[in-house]
Chains A and B, each alone.
Chain A
Amino acid sequence: MKSHVILLFAPAIIIAAGFGGRSITTAELNDQYSIFDDFEQTDSLWLFSDKIGAASASGVERAKVAIAGPLGLSSQEAVYFVAVVDNEGRALTSACEYRVTGGVIDARWWSLTLYDSETQHYVPNVINRSSWNSVAIPRADNGNWDITISQTPQDDTWLPSHVGEGRAFELNLRVYNPSDVTRARLLNIELPDVERTSC
């Protein structure tokens, strides 16, 4: 009798498992932070991956990058660092203001871009700015620079965050043609500091 019951429901169980596999995998791949699951932690707050666009990436890594950050350059050409927390490990949110400070990065050029974590796109703002790059950013004599991230306009190097209720954001630092010295120690080069200044 029980065998007949099992045989009756077996096809439905097998088909349901297939649908479950699809929906669970799709949700996993589309999760807003899943692209960073396989990134490595650097010595600072930044995450790093050399698997962007790489043939050596696993199927899951390739799928996550294709969905959330398609058409990136392989690490042969550029390296990507991502920050989703400040220097005390607190999630970045537009409800707070931050000061990002950095120095010279030994590479041909770099750019630092702010994205809304939920949409994974630029944050619309009144000055239409979502990034600063190594050429345009004002620097001190020693090459150091700083950026203010806030909802409210700033007089200096301002990177606008989402206006209104606090929303999670991330910073993406792209480093193009890093020097051999930089490339040899990507996990412990000096990267910008992200300090929360007010909330």
Chain B
Amino acid sequence: MLRRQDIIFGGVTLILAAASFFIVRSITINHAPKTVMANIEARIVQGAGGWNACYHNRVFGPRAGAARRANPDSIISSMAYDLSDGPVRISGEVWPQYWSLSLYQQNSDNYFVVNDRQLPTPNFDFVIVQKGAKETSLMGTQIISPTDKGIMLIRRFAAQKSDMPAIIDNQTALYCGPA
């Protein structure tokens, strides 16, 4: 025969166990995108030689070591940025077949994207700045990053292998670094 006290203790234990389950589940869900971002940033930093520097894929078509479900028709330049030492600049020229610049905050959301047809000229000059920072003296179009760290991707459409030499020239002319 269960006493009232036993039922209360048992009930409280079950409630705490359920709370433990759902709290840990919530933490796991919220943490997963940040872990993925940190892993990708580490790979970009390794390839580029540091934060706030660009790493260029120069291989046409499918390649080993690409991200899961990567698009082989898109030739990517990537940068892991860290704004703790100040704004970061990306400038260069678009790629006419298709070009886009996209920015990802630490929870993996794509918070900014622009393509070549949306720009007034083939040349671009963007500066990523910290949220709340006022950078009135800097030239270029400012983009406010919701988080201090994040990832920048430039995609260029390579329809065929013969596009690669011009794409590599376009990559080489790209500046990624302190503003």
Q: Which residues on A are within 8 Å of B, measured CB to CB?
A: 2-3, 6-7, 9-10, 13-22, 24-26, 29, 52-55, 57, 59-60, 62-63, 65-74, 76-77, 108-109, 111, 113, 115, 120-122, 128-131, 133, 135-136, 172, 174, 176-177
User: Chain B contacts of A129 at CB under 8 A?
Assistant: 61-62
The residue from B6, B36, B37 contacting A6, defined by CB atoms under 8 A apart: B6
Known contacts A63-B29, A73-B102; A21 and B20 CB within 8 A of each other: yes
| Interface SS, B side | mixed
Selecting from B48-56, B109-117, B125-133, B164-172, the interface stretch reads B109-117
Which residues of B in the span 11-63 have a Cβ within 8 Å of any Cβ on A? 12-13, 16-18, 20-26, 28-30, 32-33, 36-37, 40, 61-62
Q: Which size class do B's interface residues fall under?
A: 35 or more
Please state if B72 and A113 are interface contacts (CB–CB under 8 Å): yes
Known contacts A77-B100, A77-B102; A62 and B108 CB within 8 A of each other: yes
Known contacts A17-B17, A71-B67; A53 and B6 CB within 8 A of each other: no
Q: Which residues on B are within 8 Å of A, measured CB to CB?
A: 2-3, 5-6, 9-10, 12-13, 16-18, 20-26, 28-30, 32-33, 36-37, 40, 61-62, 66-69, 71-74, 97-98, 100, 102, 104, 107-111, 113, 115, 117, 151, 153, 155, 157, 159-160
Known contacts A128-B61, A131-B73; A136 and B32 CB within 8 A of each other: no
The residue from A59, A135, A174 contacting B159, defined by CB atoms under 8 A apart: A135
The residue from A55, A68, A109, A176 contacting B69, defined by CB atoms under 8 A apart: A68
The residue from A15, A66, A122, A133 contacting B32, defined by CB atoms under 8 A apart: A66
A62 to B35, CA, bound (A): 12
Nearest opposing residue in chain A for B14, CB measure: A13
User: Chain B contacts of A135 at CB under 8 A?
Assistant: 97, 157, 159-160
A15 to B113, CA, bound (A): 43
